[in-house]
Amino acid sequence: MTAKVKNMVVYLAGMIGMVVVVTAVVLFALTGPVRGYVVKATVGIDPVNKTSAGVALKGYDAVAYFQEGKAVPGTKEFVFEWNSAEWRFSSAENRDLFAKSPEKYAPQYGGYCAWAVSRGYTADGDPKTWKVVDGKLYLNYNATVGKDWEKDIPGNITNADKNWPKLVNK
């Protein structure tokens, strides 16, 4: 084999390798690392997961999880600005409770998926897939992920508590 042919083979092998890598990166970006999760970021994220309009919890009332035991949509009538996000509530009473102690009612990990944070990355949290554990609100990406998270709640919380400071933009 001549030097010219060897160089061509090396060049083509490099190009094929690059195509494989680019394809893998694109697929990962489109599907996420596991089960189609949409990965938000791995570092430097906003401390609150919010919509493009800046609304936390996709507009759900953070206090209602504790007071009513269910996910309740908030309204534009009762809002409170905290942590660079607009928080909506179903009543003035819930808004005022939140205003007095936002850390008590705001979801852990800024409302990102607790299971994803326990794995070292973030994904959207679904306000309808939630659980209050030891007086703290946790969201997960969807019901399937929520069930996975519930298989080891203490371990997942421990891991997420360790990972969260590395992920959030302070």
Report the predicted TM-score, pTM, of the whole model to 2 decimal places: 0.76
Section 10-24 average pLDDT: 48
> What integer pLDDT is reported at residue 32 of this predicted model?
45
Torsion of CA 49, 52, 53, 59, to 10 degrees: -40
3 state SS for 2-37 = CHHHHHHHHHHHHHHHHHHHHHHHHHHHHHCCCCCC
By DSSP bridging, strand 75-82 and strand 85-89 are antiparallel
Would you list the domain boundaries of the chain? Answer: 1-31, 57-167
Give the Cα separation of 139 and 115 in Å (integer): 8
Taking only the tens place, the pLDDT of each residue in 63-108 is 999 999 999 999 999 999 999 999 999 999 999 999 999 999 999 9
